[in-house]
Structure 1
């Protein structure tokens, strides 16, 4: 059942807003009052695709508009150096804060390093499949059809497909190679189908969110890989409780009245920043769990199953990435 709680809720929020006004309950505290103005209405019909795109972008508070850049080449170099400094600083800070006690067994053995590298390779391959499939579905018009359909039907069918393919992958023996990778590919395509409306956002924003997500997960994974054995495995229970609270905060707009603006504001902050912290903790926990499974597989206690290990990291990546997109969208709107 942990999968239900670890799914990103931003896309489902956007789908629920199709049949609602732009100033929905979740974001009413950010809506500025505008006096009515007399405008001339156009006679031509408004594009439904444009409405769907605007509604989805409103789920991330504001439409992201890429600022006009000067033609000077130094601006791009500065931004590249700025991003590299953020990633490097994050790695250094997390290592100094959380990794005061390193391994005392002479470093990571070869079988652990190989197991972890193969898991990272499968995670990157899975994320790549999701990105390529989401782009292909978006260009074929799938995003428009998805957002024009019933939100509850999309959420229900999406959960059934996601959970079905995920558990089918987890409970398939790694010896059954074709079925294992077939179900894993179906799981990734299902995630791509649910996340394809993100392609309505600016490519520059998505690229920055992806870079920051890789930097954050990479720094946390480095801490987990170099820390003492099983140091952070105790985080499983607290993280499960935390993700439950984050999930409930994401469902708050469905049960709270519109007038509870302050409560809705804090529930949204809890979903956004609390979820970022929780899934960062899940990354740390999952890396140490992968190393623990590598030692068990080396002793012959369990079968080596790289695909199952990569699914947990993929879910961490998706949840962190969706929140990064929303944070960057909020920052860009505040600069206007």
Structure 2
């Protein structure tokens, strides 16, 4: 869920209309996570309306409770509520005759009309995530994903961890040679005048004049979804294509000694080696990360 949600622009929150279910703690956690992940649009599908005989008042009660929770935390100012029955098909693709009191659109109609799909970030600063290095006919080739900006053949690329710049040659995509690779694309290329022995997976390329942040410590907000996390636990951080040893150096709320499952906490993370991170609000792919404890993914985080 978190991997997909961390890249989403919109989310559907499904809440049961059934009296014994309704708004649960997990519902509130999902709203908090959506806000934490910078999801811009939230749609609330109130499901199982058939089990409450399509009762308008039950729908209104759930809508009121969620709105009060959102208002108290200043999470979302405007969201859409849709009464549905997934089992019966009510209000999914077309309007339901069982809920003629609802004047809104069906779920799919609403999504098609309201979701705003952003264009790829071609105009933003260049960020190239190095995924691999391989040998091709006695030459070294880099494989990377262009997260933002445009990588051009014969242009210059600065590698921020190994601190070296080179000229881009032999730029190619899935369909062969190309003059440029844009945000959202993967490409292979060579760099002239660099020491390939210094380049590792997790390296990030950029323009020499607009570089990302190279950090050994940074502040973040994390959500623990498996086990607990303590200060100074031995952890591994995965961010972009990088993987480094790290620890939680500080829990910002001094009254908290252990971060429990389903807790959200502000922390300071210290990394053994330099790592490139960006604020999540600026570059999401370099601003979100996983924390691994004893070979298990324990937490998800965003860089502040």
| TM-score normalised per structure 2 | 0.23
* Greater relative contact order, per chain length (Cα 8 Å cut-off, separation 6+): 1
Query: Between Structure 1 and Structure 2, whose CA radius of gyration is higher?
Result: 2
| TM-score normalised per structure 1 | 0.22
- Structure with greater proportional helix content: 1
